[in-house]
Structures are given as structure tokens and as C-alpha cells.
Structure 1
Amino acid sequence: MTKIKICGISRQLDIEYLNDLQPEYAGFVFAKSKRQVDKDHAYNLINNLHSDIKKVGVFVDENPDIVLEIAKSLGLQVLQFHGYETQEYINKFKGYEIWKALKINSIKSISEIEKYDYEKFLLDNTTSGSGESFDWNLVYKKIDGRFIMLAGGLTSENVGQGILKLNPYGVDVSSGVETNGYKDYAKIKEFIKKVRDL
């Protein structure tokens, strides 16, 4: 079954939505973003999150000591890196599942996968959170879907097509389940339904 991550969780209301709809992952953004949360706010949110939903911290070129402090204090299970993090940097985070985001804009950009040696790659467009999808034909038959989180411009309208084309481990959505910049219960419900009906 394709896993689902709802990213950019920033309100207690968002937590209520997720607890009711039960995606596999909830994403908390600690990098500069309109969805950014700090450690204390994230703690209050996570404190109310259902224990079956795994907690993902999203970081961009952050000091590894800060990442580890946040991860330990919040009990994060997955660390998602969106910057220029190297394999040497990644190696500092033993015991955590790692998702390395790659910005896909050409055939060549897929080859970045060869620089790393760990479990999951999150394939995104060149501007995370923009609501734009990348050209899925660039990676079709060039990647092993078991190790891919598909992101970038996903909505309930196109997520089924993305899954059927790339057979990813999971899908990651943020702006595609929002209305006026806030998470929308009906959109999250429809997105999850489309994924799980496949």
C-alpha cells in the first residue's frame, strides 16, 4: 500500500484532521517556510498526535547538532533533508530513517541518487511547496519506486496518475491539500481516499 505523508503541519486543528484521517506520516517543517514551526510549537502539536502516525522533521542545511537536538526532544522517526546535505552529513544521524529530497528538472538530476547510500529519496520539483509537479517522464523507469517518496504538486486529481506511473513507496503532499494556505479537512480526506482506493 502506498504510504501517505501530509506535510507542513502547523496547527492543532491540523493534528485533529490527521488523527481522524490517519495518514502514515506527518511532516513538521523546521526550515524557513510559511509552514515553519519551532521546536516548542512542534512539541505541543506532536504531543496530541496519534502514536500510529510517524513524525517527520524537514530540514534544509541545518547544523547537525540542532537537527539531533530537535529530533531527540520531539521523538522524530524520520529526518527529511532538502538542502545540499552530503553523505558525510547524513552519516551523523544513526538510528533515524532518512529521506533525501532531490529537485528534479532534468535527466541529469536523477543521477544525484548515485551520490548517496540510504533508504528513501523524495523527488520534488525545483521549488518545494510551490504546488507545481515535475515532469514524471524524467524519472519513469529510471528509479526503483520502492525507495521513492513522490512529492511536488500532488493533488487528489493527479496523485493516482503519479502512483500508477512511478509506483512509489509513498506520496508527500502539502499545498495540494490546502485552501488559502491552511490545511483543508475535505481535501486531505479526498487525497487519502484516492491513494487508498488504488
Structure 2
Amino acid sequence: MTQIKICGLKRMEDVDYVNELLPDYIGFVFAKSRRQVDLKLAKTLSERLNPKIKKVGVFVNEDIDKVKAAINGASLDILQFHGDEDGKYLSNFKDFIVWKSKSIDISLEKISNKFIADLNEYNIDAVVLDSSERGKVGGTGKSFNWELAAEINLTSKLILAGGLSIDNVCEAINIVKPYAVDISSGVETNGVKDFNKIKKFIEKVRNIK
């Protein structure tokens, strides 16, 4: 069964929603973003979270000591990196589950061999494939060509993100067959998490045969 990550929790209500609906993972965004949380808030939210749900910390080119402080302060289970972090940087977290995000432009028609080789050089647990548009990564609300992801032969797990919604997630899973799907804005209304949208999204994914 495809795993589910609800990213960008920042309110007590968000935690209450997922505690009831039980996705497999949630994400706390420590990078600059409208969903950014500081360590104090992440710790408070983490303490309220159902322990069955794995906590993912999302970082972009963050200082190593600050990542380690977040690991301890918010009891993170997984680290997800969205910046220019290379293998040397990631080696500082070899005792942790690490996900690395790479973006695919929505206009791209073919994946280069170098792109795939670069992905497979990382010693990580999963690659998060996100969408970008003219250099803007994440939050575009648009998806890249999923057929491209279906062609990528990875040595790690594949997590699909970028432009997912209640309306298209079933198609995305059928094409890509990812280990997990990662959604944030697609389950929001007016910039905040929407209980009914999260519920419908989870139901859609878990009802796929």
C-alpha cells in the first residue's frame, strides 16, 4: 500500500486532524516558507502527535548543528533535504533515515542519464521527486510529467510530490507506483490544512486496489 505524508503542519488543529486520520508521515518545515515552524513550536506539535505517525523534518541548506538540534528537540524520525546538500553533507546523518528531494520542471520532456545517476549516488533511503516551474521549486500546485518518474530506475525508494490533489492522486500512483505520496497545499483551504481534504486524500490513496 502506498504510504502517505501530510507536510507543512503548523497548528494544533493540524495535529488533531492527523491524529484522527492517521497518515503514515507528517512534515515539519524548518526552512523559510509560509509553513515554517521554529523549534519551540515543532516540539509542542510533536508532543501532541500520535506516536504511530512518523515525524519528518524538512530542511534547505541548513546548518548541521541546527538540524541536529531539531532532531533532538522535535524527536524527528526522518530528515528531508530540499537544498544543495551533497553526499558529504548527508554523511553527517548516516545514523538517521534520510530523504533527498530533487525537482523536475513541469515542462521537461525527457530525463537525462546524468539526473538518474546523480540520484543513485546518494546514500539515502528515499528520493522525493517534486515539481518546479522556471526554477521555482515546491508550492507550484502543478505536477511534472509522471511518465518521466515511471521511467526512473532508483536504488532507493521513490516518493512523489508536487501538484498532487484529491483529484489526481489515483492517476499519479497508477503511473508512478511510488513508495509514498507527499502533499501539502493540495489538502489546504485558504492556506491552512483542511480536515475534509486530508480525509478524502487519505481515503483515495488507501482505497486504491
Q: CA deviation at 1:132?
A: 1.3
Which residue number in structure 1 is paired with residue 28 of structure 2? 28
Q: CA deviation at 1:173?
A: 0.2
Distance across 2 between alignment mates of 1:86 and 1:128: 19
CA deviation vs aligned residue, 1:58-97 (integer Å, no higher than 9, x gap)? 0000011110111112110100000000011001013211
Which residue number in structure 1 is paired with residue 124 of structure 2? 118
Query: Are positions 1:169 and 2:175 aligned together?
Result: no
Opposite residue 79 of structure 1, the aligned amino acid is L
Which residue number in structure 1 is paired with residue 197 of structure 2? 187
Q: Secondary structure at the match of 2:150?
A: coil
Are the equivalent residues in 1 in contact too, given 2:9–2:27 (CA < 8 A)? Answer: yes
Opposite residue 100 of structure 2, the aligned amino acid is K
Q: Secondary structure at the match of 2:58?
A: strand
Distance across 1 between alignment mates of 2:155 and 2:35: 28
Aligned-pair Cα RMSD in Å = 1.4
Distance across 2 between alignment mates of 1:184 and 1:120: 27
State the aligned residue count: 198
Distance across 2 between alignment mates of 1:102 and 1:143: 15
Distance across 2 between alignment mates of 1:170 and 1:45: 23
Consecutive unaligned residues of structure 2, counting only runs of 5 or more, are none
Distance across 2 between alignment mates of 1:192 and 1:158: 13
CA deviation vs aligned residue, 1:138-169 (integer Å, no higher than 9, x gap)? 22222349711100010111111111111111
TM-score by length of 1: 0.96
